[in-house]
């Protein structure tokens, strides 16, 4: 297993820190996918980087859904939330599925861009293309890099449950990464998150390089068009059917 930051951070501390992420938001993105990709209600969905499984309940209302994540802690939380959903522990750079298995692959709430090497991030999308059936689709729900650079909050301190949390955020030289250092004061534990700030045009180009055709770019979970001030960059792309 990799020793990079994400290998150990997505644990019980992470679940406590982000307990505010709510069901309403998960339902919103699932409803958006269902509205914009209605023809996909006949196959299987892969929730790639499913985390604690908050999206799986809603995704599985359209077609059977499988969750995949690297974190054993988050998968345990997903099992408690969604006992019937098949869950797989694996690295997204090497998906344990046959080619053309899924009609829909979703990667939601910035579960992408974790690798320092752009080639590894691109390889994730090649794996997604491999397991997506012709005529299927991918939804990549990513942060909107221009908005992040405009609105980043360098420091905050807040109360989470019974704990005080300090958070420092920094944009790297050249604007390629955003990192967040998290200090849990009582325990003295320190974690760092780091995400590559891909521009929307870069995401679209990476998807195109993998054979996808970007059909739509949304800027939030209500489906408004993507602009430089949008909070999200939601890419909806299709893998052409054979003969197209």
Residues 1-56: tens digit of each pLDDT: 346 899 888 988 888 888 777 788 999 999 999 999 987 767 999 999 999 999 99
DSSP state of 174: G
Asked if 98 contacts 131 with a C-beta cutoff of 8 angstroms, the reply is: yes
Q: Where residue 244 falls among pLDDT bands split at 50, 70, 90?
A: low
The pLDDT, as a whole number, for residue 1 is 39
DSSP state of 241: P
Query: What is the average per-residue pLDDT within 162-166?
Result: 92
- Classify 208 as helix, strand or coil: helix
Q: Which two tokens stand for residue 15?
A: 């679940």
Which of 72, 105, 117, 65 minimizes the C-alpha distance to 91? 72
Q: Which two tokens stand for residue 121?
A: 């991030």
How far apart, in whole angstroms, are the C-alpha atoms of residue 9 and residue 73? 10
User: Residue 85 pLDDT more than 90?
Assistant: no
Query: What is the average per-residue pLDDT within 144-157?
Result: 98
pTM, to two decimals: 0.95
Q: What order do you get walking across the sheet with 163-171 strand by strand? A: 155-160, 163-171, 177-184, 189-196
What's phi and psi for 228, nearest 5 deg?
-65, -20
Query: What is the average per-residue pLDDT within 59-82?
Result: 94
How far apart, in whole angstroms, are the C-alpha atoms of residue 68 and residue 56? 11
User: Residue 219 pLDDT more than 50?
Assistant: yes
Which of 174, 102, 112, 173 minimizes the C-alpha distance to 132? 102
User: Residue 103 pLDDT more than 50?
Assistant: yes
Tell me the percentage of the chain whose pLDDT exceeds 70.
Answer: 97
CA dihedral 176, 113, 80, 45 (to 10 degrees): 140
Asked if 141 contacts 110 with a C-beta cutoff of 8 angstroms, the reply is: yes
- Classify 221 as helix, strand or coil: coil
Which of 68, 198, 207, 200 minimizes the C-alpha distance to 129? 207
**Neighbour-count burial of 153, counting CB atoms closer than 10 A to its CB (0-12 exposed, 13-18 middle, 19+ buried):** exposed
Helices (H), 51-106: 56-59, 72-81
The pLDDT, as a whole number, for residue 187 is 87
């Amino acid at each position: 297993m990799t020793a990079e930051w994400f290998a150990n951070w997505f644990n019980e501390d992470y679940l406590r820190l982000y307990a505010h992420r709510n069901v309403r938001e998960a339902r919103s993105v699932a409803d958006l996918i269902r509205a914009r990709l209605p023809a996909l209600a006949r196959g299987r969905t892969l929730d790639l980087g499913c985390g604690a499984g908050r999206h799986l309940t809603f995704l599985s209302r359209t077609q059977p859904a499988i969750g995949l994540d690297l974190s054993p802690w988050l998968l345990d939380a997903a099992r408690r939330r969604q006992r019937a959903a098949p869950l797989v522990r694996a690295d997204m750079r090497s998906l344990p599925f046959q080619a053309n298995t899924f009609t829909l692959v979703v990667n939601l709430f910035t579960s992408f861009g974790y690798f320092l090497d752009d080639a590894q991030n691109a390889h994730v999308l090649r794996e997604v293309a491999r397991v997506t059936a012709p005529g299927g689709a991918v939804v990549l729900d990513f942060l909107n890099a221009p908005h992040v650079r405009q609105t980043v909050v360098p420091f905050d301190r807040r109360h989470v449950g019974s704990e005080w949390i300090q958070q420092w955020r920094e944009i790297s030289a050249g604007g390629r990464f955003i990192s967040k250092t998290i200090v849990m004061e009582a325990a003295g534990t320190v974690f760092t998150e780091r995400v590559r700030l891909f521009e929307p045009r870069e995401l679209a180009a990476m998807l195109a390089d993998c054979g996808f055709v970007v059909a739509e770019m949304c800027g939030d979970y209500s489906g408004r068009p993507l602009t430089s001030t949008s909070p999200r960059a939601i890419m909806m792309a299709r893998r052409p059917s054979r003969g197209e």
